[in-house]
Amino acid sequence: MMNRADFLNALDEMLELDPGTLTGEEALEGLDSWDSLAVISFIALVDEHFDKVVAGEDLAKAKTINDLLALAGVA
């Protein structure tokens, strides 16, 4: 299972950011690469690594990278 640092690195790669860019505090709306494709990629990432299904309504409430971590169960 991925830890927080691994998950942040996976999000960096998914969002085409330099490794180590994300800390968790970033607002999703401030990330140019957070779009519909990124949403689908996030859902797939969580499913693949955590065997969890993220509900669309829960994902819609996410405002920060930390919210995404919480949805994945990575504190």
pLDDT (0 to 100) of residue 71: 96
pLDDT value for 6: 95
Q: Which residues contact 61 (CB under 8 A, 6 or more apart)?
A: 67
Number of other CB atoms surrounding residue 72 within 10 Å: 21
Phi/psi of residue 49, nearest 5 degrees: -95, -20
pLDDT attached to residue 1: 74
Non-local (6+) Cβ contacts of 9 within 8 A are 19, 20
Residue 75 confidence (pLDDT) above 80: no
In the CATH hierarchy, which fold is given to the domain comprising 4-72? 1.10.1200
Nearest to 65 by CA among 50, 33, 52: 33
Domain ranges for the chain: 4-72
Single pTM value for the model? 0.93
Q: What is the per-residue pLDDT across 23-70, written as a single tens digit (0 to 9) for each?
A: 999 999 999 999 999 999 999 999 999 999 999 999 999 999 999 999
